[in-house]
Amino acid sequence: MGTASRQPAKGPERTPDGRYIVVDGRRWRTSDPGLPEARRTELVGELMDARRAVAAARRADDEDAEREARSRVHAAKVALGERGAPWWEQPRS
C-alpha cells in the first residue's frame, strides 16, 4: 500500500482578531497567546485534572468535592486567560 500524506489536524475556527474560537456557532475565549508554553502546558494539565475531579465527584454524588473541583477548573481557566479580565486588555510587562 502507498503511504498517505498526513496533514496536521486543523484546529477550530477562529475569529479574525484571534481572541475567540468558534464551536457550533458559539464563541469561546482562547487562551492567552502570551503565556510561555511550559506554563500553558502546566495549566492545561491542571484544567484536565480538575475536570476529571468534577466528573469523579459527580459520580460519587459528593457536592463538596464537586464544588472544590469546579473551583479548580475556574482558577485554571482564569490563569489561562479564558475567564476573568480579557487577556488582550491586560498590560504586558
Return d(Cα 15, Cα 92) in angstroms, integer.
Answer: 22
Return d(Cα 32, Cα 91) in angstroms, integer.
Answer: 12
Per-residue pLDDT, averaged over 19-31, amounts to: 95
Q: Are 32 and 86 in contact (CB under 8 A)?
A: no
Nearest to 42 by CA among 75, 70, 14: 75
Return d(Cα 84, Cα 55) in angstroms, integer.
Answer: 24
* Those residues with Cβ within 8 angstroms of residue 53's Cβ, 6 or more apart along the chain or in another chain: 65, 68, 69, 72
Model pTM score: 0.82
Per-residue pLDDT, averaged over 68-86, amounts to: 97
Whether residue 46 has pLDDT greater than 90:
yes
Per-residue pLDDT, averaged over 35-52, amounts to: 97
Contacts 24+ apart (CB under 8 A), 21-30: 28/82, 29/81, 29/82, 29/83, 29/86, 30/81, 30/82
Binned at pLDDT 50, 70 and 90, residue 82 comes out as: very high
